[in-house]
Amino acid sequence: MSLISGGQAGFNSVIFYNRSHRVKASRKKDGCIEVNVVSTNGSNGTKVGKLFDKIPFIRGMWLMIELVILNWRLYLITLVLFFTMLILQNVTHETTERDTSSLFYLFFTPPYHFIFLLGVLMCASIFIKITEVGKYHSAEHMVDNAYEDSQDISLQNVQMYSRVHKQCGTNLLVFILIFYSIFYYLLDNKFLGGFLSFSFGYEVYKINHMWIKRALTPVYAFSYTLQWFLFTSKPNPKHLEVSISAYQEMVSLSKAGNDE
């Protein structure tokens, strides 16, 4: 069983977190690995998060807010660009009346609109592939896969596991985009459609029912393919060691909590 509720890869770091702790391991310039632990158990954000976790559809919107709070440097620019796109799309829809000479029309109208989104994803993929982020992302997945399967997170064992993870944020992104494609045609308000897409996508992402997950096999197969080819890279031992250090701390915290 996994000990974490999420993770994140950085340029030289891996972060694991749950509702009580946030653990970050990073490799310093001298080659040493530094591990930092932050307790979030008594924070107001954590209390609100635990409450919203029990409320379907609302919890998806709260997750979006939490991502900004916990990782604002990484996500703020992305969110600003995304919602700016939605606002411009609404303005364009109301003012241009399908003027095909409009630049906004080319960016925010099907099929050009979805080509634009695909371009954003490809740019993100290239960035991940040419930096260390993709390798740390793989290391993050492999360590949790190893622990969930065998509770053995030694370097030798972790190297045997897949860099594709069933709970990767890529899966969530795919579900969000599917619902966004649906709401795009059902709602005139694209801003509202964006929020609903995130909310509905998160609910499907959280489903653990065996038969429903089997019915979604084609979607997961597509997402796993994206993970492998676009958003992860084969890690070296130095990347795995950082991820293992962070996860070992999560194991220690879990044992300490059980002892208490």
DSSP output for 89-141: HHHHHHHTSS-TT-HHHHHHSTTHHHHHHHHHHHHHHHHHHHSTHHHHHHHHH
| 235 vs 180, higher pLDDT | 235
Assign 96 a pLDDT band (cuts: 50, 70, 90): very low
CA distances from residue 164 to 2, 25, 220 in whole angstroms, order as listed: 15, 21, 11
Closest CA to 147 of 25, 254, 12: 254
* CA pair distance 260, 255, nearest whole angstrom: 9
pLDDT value, residue 259: 46
* CA pair distance 77, 68, nearest whole angstrom: 10
| CB 235, CB 131: distance < 8 Å | no
- Rounded mean pLDDT of the chain? 82
pLDDT value, residue 1: 75
pLDDT at 218 over 60: yes
Cis peptide leading into residue 110 (ω within 30°): no
* Residue range 84-89: mean pLDDT, rounded: 60
The residue extents of the domains of the chain are: 48-246
Residues 47-83: pLDDT tens digits?
676 677 777 877 777 776 766 666 555 555 665 666 6
Closest CA to 237 of 148, 163, 164, 135: 135
* CA pair distance 187, 197, nearest whole angstrom: 11
pLDDT value, residue 132: 95
pLDDT at 101 over 70: no
| CB 133, CB 9: distance < 8 Å | yes
pLDDT at 227 over 90: yes
Proportion of the chain above pLDDT 70, given as a percent? 75
* Residue range 198-218: mean pLDDT, rounded: 90
Assign 93 a pLDDT band (cuts: 50, 70, 90): low
Assign 206 a pLDDT band (cuts: 50, 70, 90): confident
pLDDT value, residue 77: 60
Q: Give 216's Cβ-side CA count (13 Å radius).
A: 20
| 140 vs 213, higher pLDDT | 140
Least confident range from 97-101, 193-197, 207-211: namely 97-101
Residues 175-202: pLDDT tens digits?
998 998 898 888 877 778 888 888 899 9
